[in-house]
Amino acid sequence: MESRNDVSIKFDEVAHEYDNQRRKLIPCFDDFYNVSVSIADANSNSPNILDLGAGTGLFSSLILQKYPEAKITLIDISEKMLEVAKSRLKGFTNVNYVLDDYTNFISHEKYDIIISALSIHHLADTNKLELYKNTYLNLKNKGVFINADQVLGDTSFIESLYKNDWKKKVEASGLSIDEIESAYERTKLDRMSNLKTQINWLQEIGFLDVDCVFKYFNFVVLYGRKLM
């Protein structure tokens, strides 16, 4: 079983090549991120935003194109990933970086929008559930949560269908053999949960209007909002 430290080490190793590869490793790249940004709505031009498992800051950078005056906090367990994020977002002043395991992160301030991309699937089920509970607590009233991530197929057949499709597309993407092998090695860190289970968790915690607003094989965008 991989530990959270294993995740940090693996992503430190690939931090500076990660973004160059990402479009080829995510066959639905444009829709995946465009949908995620389009549903990140706030009642302010300068919302307070938290990015869980922010990595190289890609999702944050796209959100900042929509809300250039936002105050945004990026939290990640990989120091090298955050170094890339700092370089990417150096033109923005209202950015805070937190080097930590976000699993048990509870903030003293509340957020209008909490986002995450391709990170939460590395957590065990118990940690995912705890994170979702903390996310609900960390949101302001009328705040929204967007998780762009990967999910497990509901059956072994569907899961193999997902994996085989992804492998075919990755191997035809133009990535080198070493890059492909590195990507396959990182999939050993995956601890994916199925879509229905995660939707149920979010609803039970108290999120309203929970939905999977985008799905491409195992790539999904989950949405929920807090209203109380």
**Predicted confidence (pLDDT) per residue in 178-228, tens digit:** 999 988 998 988 999 999 999 999 999 999 999 999 999 999 999 999 997
The pTM score is 0.91
Is residue 31 pLDDT above 70, yes or no?
A: yes
Give the model's pLDDT for residue 16.
53
Give the model's pLDDT for residue 186.
87
User: Which residue has better confidence, 187 or 18?
Assistant: 187
Is residue 13 pLDDT above 60, yes or no?
A: no
Give the model's pLDDT for residue 1.
44
Q: In what helix (H) or strand (E) does residue 203 lie, and over which residues does it extend? A: helix 195-205
- Contact criterion met (CB below 8 Å) for 9 and 188: no
Mean confidence (pLDDT) of the chain: 92
Instruction: Tell me the one-letter amino acid at 215.
Output: K
Is residue 7 pLDDT above 60, yes or no?
A: no
pLDDT in tens, 86-102: 999 998 989 999 999 99
Give the model's pLDDT for residue 228.
73
Q: All domains of the chain, ordered by start, with CATH? A: 4-225 (3.40.50.150)
Give the model's pLDDT for residue 164.
97
Q: Please, which pLDDT band fits residue 10 given cuts at 50, 70 and 90?
A: very low
Average pLDDT over residues 136-150: 98
Give the model's pLDDT for residue 9.
53
The token pair that represents 192 in the structure block: 């994916």
- Contact criterion met (CB below 8 Å) for 215 and 196: no
